[in-house]
Amino acid sequence: MKNTRALTVAGAALAASLLTLPGCAASGEAVSKPAGSAGAESKGEIAFFTPSSQIDVVAALADGVVEYFEGEGYTVTIQDANFDAVKQAQQIQQAIDTHSIVGAWIMPVAPETAAQSLATLQAAKIPAVVEGPPMSVGLEGPQPGIAFDEPDFLKYGTMIGDTAAKCAVDGEGREALFLMPPDAAGGTEQVIGAIEDSFAAGAPDVPIAATGEAADIASAQTTVSQLLIANPDANVIIAASDETALGAAGAFKAANKTPACIVAGGGGDAAVAALEAGDITSVVSWDYSSAVGEAGADLIRMISDPTSLGGIIETPVKATGGN
Amino acid sequence: MSQISPNNALPWKIRGLLLIRDQGLLALFIAIVIVFAFWGAPYFLTLPTGISILNAAAIASIFAAGVAVGIMTGVLDLSVPGTAALAGVVTGRLLQEGLPVGLAIMCGLLMGLLVGVVNAVVVLRGFNPLIVTIAMLSVLSGASLLIAGSYNISGLTQLVFMGTRTYFGIPAPVYIAVVLFVILTVFLKFTRGGTRLLAVGGSAEAARRVGIAVNWYRILGFAISGLCAALGGIVTAAYITTAVPSASVGTVFTAMTAVALAGVPFVGGRGSLPRVGLGVIVVATISAGLLLAKVPADWSSVVTGVLLVGGLGLNMWTTNTTSKLLLASGDDGAKRGTR
């Protein structure tokens, strides 16, 4: 009994330390997102339903959405589905049932499963912005109360391929490695096809010697290290995600080699920082910040008239960096 | 008293089964190397590839060591990815705040130790260890994201000395893994504490009856697991000079595969850490071999899963068959003794 009590006390003390140490580590700097910092005069709440806040680009988009709507007098909550389509559907349903939101911004985990949630939102007269074309959620054309932030995957993939090809030709590229994330997110197939086609057309003398797949930076670094052993002439990296690009940059550094170019498709903060540091040559990204303003204005318009047709806004693509 | 067989020697069938259980992994590793020597030629059977495989295996083996010690103690610690993420992020943030490298690393390791102890204390209150460690994984994942502000903490070049730097041609993580495995193996095999830890894993009740302070050894098991997870997290951050706040659940999967391949029973009580190390090398070798043989990456995942089930199946088969044969031999001996 004495032992048990001692253990309980020790446990409580340790738990307290566990909670306080990270706090000390983060002292002097805000560590949580500003979402949900409701003001008394808030016009209402917008929920941003994200597949995962752990994706840099998505986190950046969430920041953009928060900034825009807070500027317009709304509060924003971010709901992370952690890549679980069912969880996301439940989060949306819960928001509808509790009448807690006046508008939604949805980046679907699995677009094909989001149709029901959108229908329920329409029925509840809660307007929404959806990341993706109408077709991805089984709809055609403009819809009442729903605006679409439509990415052009073909354009995105082509821009990555073209940027890599230009860089390979200008930078005397010999062989290329093509790196992909393992997930099958919407448009992945189109993006990969467009990258391969445009790269082959733009740099016909630089073959793609090998392809690799990696989910995170560490495994990408290991994969590229091993691919460089088998393909020592490879000096061009076409990376379809930030993580693979960052892993490739690390692998080249570890091998004491200098790549002719590393082109990343993504555009999260870490990739942008690597670009600024010169570790990555170019970053091709969705320009969400440009789209947020247009789509956000459309959402605010629909909040006042939820039966009006939402717009279809094309998400711009931008390339940053270069030789 | 009846003897199992004359001259105290085990029957050849049992010895064969034990050999398969103990050395089967080595045979599997050699077979895999031979296969890929041809399939992945000319790049597979080279020194750089070998070093690269060792490097990849080193980081995974640090996690595997923690998971293995937990399992040997009778507990599957599923909070390992969360502990790793938290330790990496805490270390990264402290480095950003300008703390000396050694102190930041110590704080990161301390976090792992604390997580392990908290896990243990909660489990000792009678909660299911699986649920407790899953809950802890959730808590730690969230905490890591909060501390990191949901973004990677990059530019941790202060940690390069234990990440990508090589010493005598061997990457730093390999040295760290070797030192860790030596320390833990010596502890488990040659110290009273290690023996008692395994005894608690084998049968907590039996250990209690012989006067072992079971609770303290269960805390120790969790603490070692947490410490290893934290070390793995810091080495991973050092390897990519970035602390990633998201917990990589794949690390536990690889670690469990290695533990299963090493024949460590998931009910605890016994196991060999060097074989766990070999298990991780087998997984890393398959991954590298398939990559160099230009096999699509998804197959690597399939093969790893098959290996996990295969390893568990082989372990179960050898254990059950050995038990049956030993019982049968005992019966025969007893019969001969009564004749």
Could you report the per-residue pLDDT of A280-313, keeping only the tens digit for each?
A: 999 998 887 778 889 999 999 999 999 999 999 9
Which residues, 6 or more positions from A141, have their beta carbon under 8 angstroms from its beta carbon? Answer: A134, A312
**Mean pLDDT taken over chain A:** 83
Maximum mean pLDDT: which of A94-108, A173-187, B91-105, B325-339? B91-105
Write the pLDDT tens digit of every residue in B42-75.
888 889 899 989 998 999 999 999 999 988 888 8
Provide the token pair at B314.
Answer: 């082989």
A53-57, A146-150, B22-26, B74-78: range with lowest mean pLDDT: A53-57
Determine the average pLDDT of the residues in A85-100.
Answer: 85
Inter-residue contact A46 to A69 (CB < 8 Å): yes
pLDDT of residue A39: 46
Determine the average pLDDT of the residues in B133-149.
Answer: 91
- The pLDDT-based confidence of A40 (bands split at 50, 70, 90) is low
Write the pLDDT tens digit of every residue in A165-191.
999 999 889 999 999 887 655 677 788
pLDDT of residue B336: 57
3-state secondary structure of A163: helix
- The pLDDT-based confidence of B207 (bands split at 50, 70, 90) is confident
CA distance B275 to chain A (A): 23
Q: Hey, are the CB atoms on B152 and A15 less than 8 Å from each other? A: no
Determine the average pLDDT of the residues in A99-122.
Answer: 87
Distance between CA B2 and CA B333 in Å, rounded?
6
Task: Please say if the pLDDT value at position A60 is more than 50.
Answer: yes
Helix axes A56-71, A288-304, angle to 10 degrees: 40
Which has more pLDDT, A2 or A164?
A164
Of A283, A287, A318, A316, which is closest to residue A167 (Cα–Cα)?
Answer: A283
- The pLDDT-based confidence of A29 (bands split at 50, 70, 90) is very low
Inter-residue contact A202 to A161 (CB < 8 Å): yes
Which residue has 């295969």 as its token pair? B310
Distance between CA B165 and CA A31 in Å, rounded?
31
A65-69, A269-273, B194-198: range with lowest mean pLDDT: A269-273
pLDDT of residue A69: 94
Write the pLDDT tens digit of every residue in A123-134.
999 999 998 888
B213, closest residue in chain A (CA to CA): A3
Residues of chain A numbered 53-82 and touching chain B (CB < 8 Å): 53-54, 56, 59
A149-163, B61-75, B86-100, B251-265: range with lowest mean pLDDT: B251-265
Task: Please say if the pLDDT value at position A106 is more than 90.
Answer: yes
Of A217, A279, A249, which is closest to residue B85 (Cα–Cα)?
Answer: A217
Chain A contact for B158, CB < 8 A? no
Distance between CA A267 and CA A286 in Å, rounded?
7
Provide the token pair at B282.
Answer: 């087998």
Write the pLDDT tens digit of every residue in B281-300.
998 998 888 888 888 777 77
Cα radius of gyration rounded to whole Å, chain A: 23
Q: Hey, are the CB atoms on A250 and B94 less than 8 Å from each other? A: no
Maximum mean pLDDT: which of B35-49, B96-110, B206-220? B96-110
Q: How many residues does chain B have?
A: 339
Write the pLDDT tens digit of every residue in B209-266.
888 888 999 999 999 999 999 999 999 999 988 898 887 777 778 888 888 888 788 7
B54, closest residue in chain A (CA to CA): A222
pLDDT of residue B335: 60
Of A193, A189, A178, A198, which is closest to residue A244 (Cα–Cα)?
Answer: A178
Residues of chain B numbered 192-251 and touching chain A (CB < 8 Å): 213, 215, 219, 236, 239-242, 244-246, 248, 250
Cα–Cα distances (Å) from A35 to A59, A69, A88, A287, in that order, read 12, 10, 18, 21
- The pLDDT-based confidence of B26 (bands split at 50, 70, 90) is confident
pLDDT of residue B63: 94
Which residue has 């969790």 as its token pair? B222
Chain B contact for A250, CB < 8 A? yes
Which has more pLDDT, A32 or A206?
A206
Inter-residue contact A155 to A319 (CB < 8 Å): no
Centroid of chain to Cα B161: 24
Question: How many residue contacts between A and B have a Cβ separation below 8 Å?
Answer: 144
Q: What is the dihedral of CA B308, B311, B317, B320, to 10 degrees?
A: -90
Task: Please say if the pLDDT value at position B178 is more than 60.
Answer: yes
Distance between CA A81 and CA A85 in Å, rounded?
7
Inter-residue contact A147 to A312 (CB < 8 Å): yes
Q: Hey, are the CB atoms on B147 and A31 less than 8 Å from each other? A: yes
CA distance A269 to chain B (A): 8
pLDDT of residue B167: 94
Angle at B138 between CA B298 and CA A246, to 5 degrees: 45
Residues of chain B numbered 91-150 and touching chain A (CB < 8 Å): 93-94, 97, 107, 110-111, 114-115, 117-118, 121-122, 124-125, 143, 145-150
Distance between CA B44 and CA B79 in Å, rounded?
35
